[in-house]
Amino acid sequence: MTAVATPWAAAPVTAIVDGARARLDAGVRLAALVALWSSLLLVTYWWATGGGFQDLGSWADGLTSTGRLTGLLASDLLLVQVLLMARVPTLEHAFGQDRLARVHRLVGFTSFNAMLAHIGLITWGYAAGKLGRTPATLSELTVDYPGILLAVAGTACRVLVVVSSVKAARRRLRYESWHLLHLYAYLGVGLALPHQLWTGQDFLASTARTVFWWGLWIACAVSVLVWRVALPLWRSARYRVRVTSVVPEGEGIVSVHMAGRRGMRLSAEAGQFFTFRFLSGRGWTRAHPYSLSAAPDGRNLRITVQVVGDGSASLRLLRPGTRVLVEGPYGRLCARARTRPKLAFIGAGVGITPLRALAEALDYAPGDAVLLYRYSGRPLFQQEIEVIAAERGLQVIALPGHRRAPGSWLGDGVGPASDLTALASWVPDIADRDVYVCGPDPWSDDVRHTTEAAGLPADRFHVESFGG
Ligand SMILES: Cc1cc2nc3c(=O)[nH]c(=O)nc-3n(C[C@H](O)[C@H](O)[C@H](O)COP(=O)(O)OP(=O)(O)OC[C@H]3O[C@@H](n4cnc5c(N)ncnc54)[C@H](O)[C@@H]3O)c2cc1C
């Protein structure tokens, strides 16, 4: 693969851009933002009409009142946090997993800080505003008030989750350990409920409040049970996906081909990913996300995997016929994000997988799509990409080599021009395209900076991250 524009077939392809789904997703994102802020304003309004401001007149009552407000905000955000990761299809489509995970993290840390403020302020208030009496008051509240002991246990669970999610700790933990600890968040949320219902005067003070809080709790519980548990199990049972073959693609890289039950249509789009559990031995308890590396046809799936640890290494030994549990499809690095006729795909290493599927499946006229591919060693899918280039008119620009400098997403085989100058010379109309990007997080961030500097609007930069 060389850094040249490949010739393309003459047959014209009508570039179909149905921006309807992208517009719908933008509407959902706006509605979600409005709903979030409205819910925060609503609980603040209820706090105010329940005498929140009047209580600020005295020191001890003021502390208790502010503690009540922070508790309400913390509870609201806590439930929002659960909803964000419940794999609700409308939210998944509108935000994509990357963005949902980022918002979930921000909302989670905010909720946690508000909860700490709630515990501290309300206990201080109950201790008549005397700091020295606060520890004794905390233990009295824990023992005497209904539900508080459970809430303390819930807080301990959340402390565990938050501490393990701080970046420095997260880097030291194995992914599986971090993920297992993260599941304690559900326990933490569940244990907080009784004290809210038994002692939280703001929760059940009117029918509207009862409906609001119970509605939110039930929506969260049902969403998790339906979309995280029941639907994946039902789909796996229905589609009966099995491994059909495992094909080596290069050093440390294999493709796993799978097929679902005859007559069943798996609704997935090129560019999306599934979470897979291969029922071949002990590792089945750990689900791993992999993007489709070929356009799905409704029955057959292909993923292409780089060996980085136990889970990916075990895929090399899979036997045909092995049952596979699938969750998904997920992700919006697909046709639904598209708004422009012209496309650019920018990938690094094994991040080429969803881009190769997109280059195969999306509609574009010859010359309207360009692939920039950075790799070290041998490029993945070289022959397949050459076929797509010849048949579809995909322009291919190879960026060989390791990253040439910190902050640059180009390979060291590319030459001395800056990233922006190089991009502008290869794809002068980059700002008028939809740009699909896949690779490691820091690399994708560098691509984002360059495309932004080249004038690409943020909503036309579509990214899927494979991790740090
Ligand atoms: C949306 C998405 C799509 C992906 N698509 C591909 C692909 O097409 N091809 C490919 O080779 N790799 C892909 N990956 C990366 C792949 O999921 C990990 O490399 C793999 O799970 C590593 O597991 P392991 O047991 O081999 O290694 P480990 O040593 O367990 O993990 C290595 C690193 O992989 C990441 N990781 C591990 N397990 C998970 C998990 N369950 N969820 C998210 N990240 C995890 C963590 O960052 C971890 O530090 C994708 C990741 C994501 C998030």
Give the distance (Å) from ligand 1 centre to CA of residue 20. Answer: 32
Cα–Cα–Cα angle for 240, 380, 420, rounded to 5 degrees: 120
Distance CA 59, CA 52 (A): 13
What are the tokens at 59? 């020191």
Give the distance (Å) from ligand 1 centre to CA of residue 363. Answer: 29
148 contact partners, CB below 8 Å, separation of at least 6: 141, 142, 195, 199
What are the tokens at 375? 């790799």
Say what the pLDDT of residue 48 is.
95
Q: Atom of ligand 1 at shortest distance to CA of 289?
A: 17
Helix (H) or strand (E) holding 371: strand 369-375
Give the distance (Å) from ligand 1 centre to CA of residue 307. Answer: 9
What are the tokens at 367? 């010359």
Give the distance (Å) from ligand 1 centre to CA of residue 239. Answer: 24
Give the distance (Å) from ligand 1 centre to CA of residue 374. Answer: 19
Say what the pLDDT of residue 205 is.
83
Give the distance (Å) from ligand 1 centre to CA of residue 178. Answer: 13
Say if residue 307 is exposed, middle or buried (CB neighbours under 10 Å; 0-12, 13-18, 19+). middle
* Per-position pLDDT tens, the chain of length 468: 544 333 323 333 334 566 788 899 999 999 999 999 999 999 999 999 999 999 999 999 999 999 999 999 999 999 999 999 999 999 999 999 889 999 999 999 999 999 999 999 999 999 999 999 999 999 999 998 888 899 999 999 999 989 888 888 888 888 878 888 888 888 988 898 888 877 767 777 889 999 999 999 999 999 999 999 999 999 999 999 999 999 999 889 999 999 998 777 788 999 999 999 999 877 788 889 999 999 999 889 999 999 998 889 999 999 999 999 999 999 999 999 999 999 999 999 999 999 999 999 999 999 999 999 999 888 999 999 999 999 999 999 999 988 888 889 998 888 888 999 999 999 999 999 999 999 998 999 999 999 999 999 999 999 998 875
Say what the pLDDT of residue 250 is.
86
> Which of 89, 29, 22 has its CA nearest to residue 338?
22
> Which of 437, 390, 392 has its CA nearest to residue 15?
392
What are the tokens at 342? 């012209």
Query: Which of 97, 255, 292, 308 should be mutated for ligand 1, with most atoms under 8 A from CB?
Result: 308
Q: Atom of ligand 1 at shortest distance to CA of 468?
A: 47
Q: Say which CATH superfamily domain 241-330 falls into.
A: Translation factors (2.40.30.10)
What are the b/e assignments for 73-94, b being 16+ CB within 10 Å?
A: bbbbbbbbbbbbbbbbeebbbb
126 vs 118, 137, 174, 441, CA distance in Å? 12, 7, 42, 46
CATH class assigned to 338-466? alpha beta
Strand 343-348, strand 369-375: pairing: parallel
Say what the pLDDT of residue 468 is.
57
Say what the pLDDT of residue 37 is.
98
Task: Enumerate the CATH 2.40.30.10 domain ranges in the chain, comma separated.
Answer: 241-330
Q: Atom of ligand 1 at shortest distance to CA of 290?
A: 5
**Alpha carbon distance, N-terminus to C-terminus of the chain:** 27
Using left for φ > 0, alpha for ψ between -120 and 50, and beta otherwise, residue 199 falls in alpha
What are the tokens at 230? 């029941």
183 vs 1, 85, 176, 188, CA distance in Å? 45, 12, 11, 9
The residue count of the chain comes to 468
Residue nearest to atom 40 of ligand 1 (CA): 288
Residue 354 carries which side chain, given as an amino acid letter? P
Task: Enumerate the CATH 3.40.50.80 domain ranges in the chain, comma separated.
Answer: 338-466
Residue nearest to atom 33 of ligand 1 (CA): 175
50 contact partners, CB below 8 Å, separation of at least 6: 201, 202, 205
Tokens 């780089």 identify what position? 306
Cis ω for the linkage preceding 341 (within 30 of 0): no
266 lines ligand 1 (CB under 6 A): no
Say what the pLDDT of residue 3 is.
44
CB 146 within 8 A of CB 136: no
The radius of gyration computed from the CA coordinates of the chain, to the nearest angstrom, equals 26
Give the distance (Å) from ligand 1 centre to CA of residue 136. Answer: 47
Residue nearest to atom 3 of ligand 1 (CA): 290
What are the tokens at 416? 């001395």
